[in-house]
Structure 1
Amino acid sequence: MQLTMILQNTGLHLALDWSLQYLEDPRCPVRVAVNWSSAASISAVIRGIISSKSITGLDEETTEAVVIPLIIQAFVSVFGYVVEHPSESVPVQLLFAPGQASIAKSEVWKQTVLLDLPWPCRGRPQGVKRSALSPPICNVRVALFNITIEPLAEFEEAETSSNTRIYHADSTDAFRLKALRQVGDRLDRLGATAVLSQKIVPKYLQTYLATKGIFTLDRLSAAYIRNVQMLSGATILSDWRIDDSIVSSSLGALSLITTQTLGNKQFIRLHREGTVVDSENAHPVTTIAITAPDRFAFDELNHVVTTSVKMLASLIDNPDVVAGAGCVEIHLAALLRDRAKQLRNPGPISNGTVSRGTQTDNKAARTLRQMSQTITTFANCLEDMAGRLCGSHASATDREVMIEQIRHANNESLLATTTLPCQNGLSERKSYDLYGWDPRKRSTMQVLSYTIQSDEEKFASEARILDTLQSKKDALTLVIESVSSLARIASVVRVS
């Protein structure tokens, strides 16, 4: 029993090695590099992500006319930043705009941060409808804090740590108000016209700043603060004193702070034109306002859009993609069956798995047969995964028919798959059309078409559904490691 488990585990990892070698080979017929100048290629990657998230309930028309253009427009707007900062998160914010029955009115707001907060009224004289702090506020210089601006906080901490308490309310209140006015005066001298803080700005200071025409907004979330910092280029201040080390260049710049109604809700909109500030700290931030019918629909779309943006960002460093909609699984199954057949009948295999002219004895032959059976079983499972595109209610016969149709449509590329170890396995053909399964039409569809140019580079002329190469490799590795772990657990349970 232990020997059988070892052979099965070896067979599974051999199948994984062969699959990864196949996918990593530049001549692999189901693999191309995404073309960033082609909207069709980018759309195909997004379509591959959306098609795997059926819970969103997106119909094809909405996907093509609304969702894909939104994602592409948002990603292109921050593309330069993503290229220069590949390890940073993509600066695309998603916002729920309620009050609409569909997502058709969703919008992309470039160079914009939208805050789900009410417009503050502090500082407006009573009975006056319009003041300097009424929206819109233009040409804004922003001071950005991530602390509570409270002069007495340090004294209270010192008293607590020393276990003493000095009651002199009048003097401490006077000190506090004077210190807060000094903060306001320093901000005014620096040229700040807006103060935004992650934590509390005392009401007294807000009122004092308002008398100087300085807009205040506090209790922002950490995500809001980061987006405001990126958009404005402001240095985040962590000391309420604002000493001489803080200079005017520490302030950020925005062209506009105003209100914006989306759906049936009002937001605060922060916007920066590209020419407003020349700062190395300022970067593009884009907001996608999704007009979903309810919070559940927004959450599902949020996941799809966020995943798509992250996936596109990952393709900048590793642009390789593979044909989707079950196409890769069918090709891997064909490859593994061919290798398993060669394993059962040892002969001259170019990759050196079995040496030329090797004569195996009965024990070795039995070992190879068991490994071959394991690899063939895994190949069957890969085809079953493709067969699931038929739907959960499809019969086994329906899936077999569907798999056979995909095989037939991909006949030429499947032939290249089994001959890939040969040096000229792909060079005889100069173009390939690859097919997957369309669950809506219940028929095969072309998912990728490309030509091989003189320098052996592949040029994708058409693309419908593409998956990232890395995601397929990760999925294969996860499956094999999971099955191997379960087999080891099962063997321990049987022994005990």
Structure 2
Amino acid sequence: MCQKMSGVIPSPKQQSTVINQSLKDPKNTQAVSTFRALVQSCYGPTGRLKMIHNASGGHVTSTSMSQTLFRSMSVSNPVVKLIVSAVQSHTNQFSDGGLFASLLCSCLIESCLALPIPQQAVAKINEEMLHICLEYLQNENCLCKARLNVGDATMMLALVRSVLGSKPALMLNSVDLNILSRLVLQGFLKSIPDTTVGTLSLTDVEYVCIEGCSINDSHLVDGVLFETPKITKQYLGRVKPRKVHFHGGTETIKVALFNTSLSGDSDEFIDTAYEADAGVSGDAFVFQHLIQVAAHLVQLQVGVLACQKVVHPGVQKYLAENGVLTVDRLGSLHVVAVQRLTGATAIGTLHAAINEDNIGHLHSISTVQIQHKNYLHLQSSTSPVNTLLLCNRNEAALLEMKDVCRTAHHVLCQALRTPLVLCGGGCTETHLAAHLRAQVTMQEETLLAKLGCSKAQLHTTANNFARCLEQVAMALEHDGGCHVSDPVNHHHWLLPPWASTTVPAETGVETCACGMVKTDKIDSVSCSPIGHLSDQSQPSSGSKGHGKHCDDKSNCSASLTDYMDQATQKLVESGPNVVLDSFPVKLNAFVVAVETANMILTVNRTIFDKN
């Protein structure tokens, strides 16, 4: 009877079913293949966007960024879940390189499962290939790596352009890309503390999105800017936050910052039943305590009360009458920026003593109206915090732009810690592939003794590893171009689809994909197609002619040392064509991709309970 009235008929618990599935099961291999195709289509500056929409309706997300893509996707296959989880851990730490890690990992898994070699042996050989690559990348004589001169604006700008230019959802032309890159770099440089005592923080650059304006209207402002609908220019003129003299006669505005509610519903006031005498109100008691806190702030000559949550209207009125501006509902993001800007200590309780050590300082406070919205502008003469106003006519591109600019800022922060860059445009991948094949040939006997595998297994797996690197390089282009590698530097050259020759100079191509090797450096030699099954695990027969293979280390070093030693000058000459990858970001993404693939390859079966 009750069940009929409620309309709910509980279903009995079914008996659990344990599914034992091989890693080579078609469901797993198809899931990995689909995932690889998905991330491959998003990869690079000409990658295809993905529109993500819930079946029940709601907001439509257009993106090619791995963070947004994986956050919006629902993955059920356990193998793909492992890949996504590993990549998300990488992007949480480094912000960039998610698609590279995902693509390389899925390529390795998909290709290694097709090899006629036991999975355990493949994983063991892959681990040794990773070690060879890491040893080379971390060597001072690595020829696809350059030291980043953080004092050279050209190199820093090239790094920012490489990050922003790889995100097609921004829909930037060359002029817009230059404008946005300069703003990101300028914001980063301003966020660096003037003294060695200060610390660099990702929150030192705030981002405000303005929809309906051109990208040309984007600009950088000192301090913090955030939307405050209730605080207009007229209201600010009536309140007039008090200023006090501070250190040598300069005027400052004192700021008290709270990260707890000042509306009377704080967790400090227990939500329970009270017994009180007639005429005594619990709400009145709480309000009286809030007024006492406000009165103490007035006594300390505070000019601005900033609160992460809500401030009681009665408290706001009392403070306004005493020359104190109330800024509430800051949220967790803005409250950190205000704390960094003012130097105030976030107060998390209403019952502790508030003294001068908890108070921060502002140089000025004003209101700004943008697109018919009111914004409060807080400035400090001693803080590196600044705000980047991002403008775009497209909402989806604007949201993507905010995430990408934050990623670029994070990459620049990594560059201060590790001032190294790698050749972009897939040149590092093709160069590594050539180096790997040469090293396997040179160290064949040592590797066979160490790995305990056959010669055929070693060369097959090593060549497969190298081809996966080349496939990642090829994935940067989606319009049918020809991919070749020169025999001198082993850089990636992208030729037009109609090219009938493999000589870059004859097709009008002036530089390699990273822009750091020009056609005059390879003597108009014929290049070799990449990414195809071939006997590339053996030394090239053409290495004794006009080209030089990487196993001839003296010749290879002699041909490349000059341009790598003069990287800064070449960047100045090449200008916007130079593509750079952050060394720490790509190195970690490379390690995560290979180690995750190896872990999955050692899995024999997936077992899960289906109820």
- TM-score normalized by the length of structure 1: 0.76
Deviations 1:244-280 (A, max 9, x none): xx32343211122211123443211111123xxxxxx
| C-alpha spacing 1:81/1:200, structure 2 compared with 1 (3 Å) | farther
Match of 2:433 among 310, 333, 348: 333
Residue 383 (str. 1) matches residue 470 (str. 2): yes
**Equivalent in the alignment of 1:368:** 455
Q: CA deviation at 1:45?
A: 1.1
The CA distance in 1 between the partners of 2:410 and 2:195, in whole Å, is 10
Matched residue type, 1:450: D
The CA distance in 2 between the partners of 1:136 and 1:121, in whole Å, is 19
Q: CA deviation at 1:89?
A: 3.1
Aligned residues: 432
**Equivalent in the alignment of 1:131:** 238
| Stretch of structure 1 that moved more, 26-35 or 333-342 | 333-342
| C-alpha spacing 1:238/1:14, structure 2 compared with 1 (3 Å) | closer
**Equivalent in the alignment of 1:45:** 159
Residue 95 (str. 1) matches residue 208 (str. 2): yes
Q: CA deviation at 1:322?
A: 1.1
**Equivalent in the alignment of 1:479:** 593
| C-alpha spacing 1:93/1:483, structure 2 compared with 1 (3 Å) | same
Q: How many percent of aligned residue pairs carry the same amino acid?
A: 23
Match of 1:392 among 475, 478, 501: 478
Contact in 1 for aligned 2:208/2:388 (Cα 8 Å): yes
In the TM superposition, 1:32-431 aligns within 5 A as 32-64=146-178, 66-80=179-193, 88-100=201-213, 102-110=214-222, 112-120=223-231, 131-133=238-240, 139-149=252-262, 157=270, 160=272, 164-166=274-276, 168-172=278-282, 175-176=285-286, 178-241=288-351, 243=353, 246-274=354-382, 283-342=383-442, 346=445, 353=447, 367-389=454-476, 391-394=477-480, 398-400=482-484, 402=493, 405=504, 406=512, 409=519, 415=548, 417-420=550-553, 426=557, 428=558, 431=561
Deviations 1:147-194 (A, max 9, x none): 22367868951x72xx54436455546545543443332211111112
The CA distance in 1 between the partners of 2:199 and 2:242, in whole Å, is 36
Secondary structure of residue in 2 paired with 1:291: strand
Matched residue type, 1:70: L
Matched residue type, 1:131: R
| C-alpha spacing 1:130/1:63, structure 2 compared with 1 (3 Å) | closer
The CA distance in 2 between the partners of 1:319 and 1:168, in whole Å, is 71
| C-alpha spacing 1:373/1:218, structure 2 compared with 1 (3 Å) | same
Secondary structure of residue in 2 paired with 1:144: strand
Q: CA RMSD in A?
A: 3.7
Ranges in structure 2 where 5+ consecutive residues have no aligned partner: 1-114, 245-250, 486-492, 495-501, 505-511, 524-542, 572-577, 607-611
**Equivalent in the alignment of 1:4:** 118
The CA distance in 1 between the partners of 2:211 and 2:552, in whole Å, is 55
Q: CA deviation at 1:319?
A: 1.0
Contact in 1 for aligned 2:437/2:462 (Cα 8 Å): yes
Match of 1:460 among 565, 568, 572: 568
Q: CA deviation at 1:297?
A: 1.2
Contact in 1 for aligned 2:170/2:398 (Cα 8 Å): no
**Equivalent in the alignment of 2:602:** 488
Deviations 1:434-458 (A, max 9, x none): xxxxxxxxxxxxxxx533xxxxxxx
| Stretch of structure 1 that moved more, 371-380 or 81-90 | 81-90
- TM-score normalized by the length of structure 2: 0.63
The CA distance in 2 between the partners of 1:217 and 1:488, in whole Å, is 56
Contact in 2 for aligned 1:140/1:253 (Cα 8 Å): yes
| C-alpha spacing 1:17/1:227, structure 2 compared with 1 (3 Å) | same
Contact in 1 for aligned 2:262/2:311 (Cα 8 Å): yes
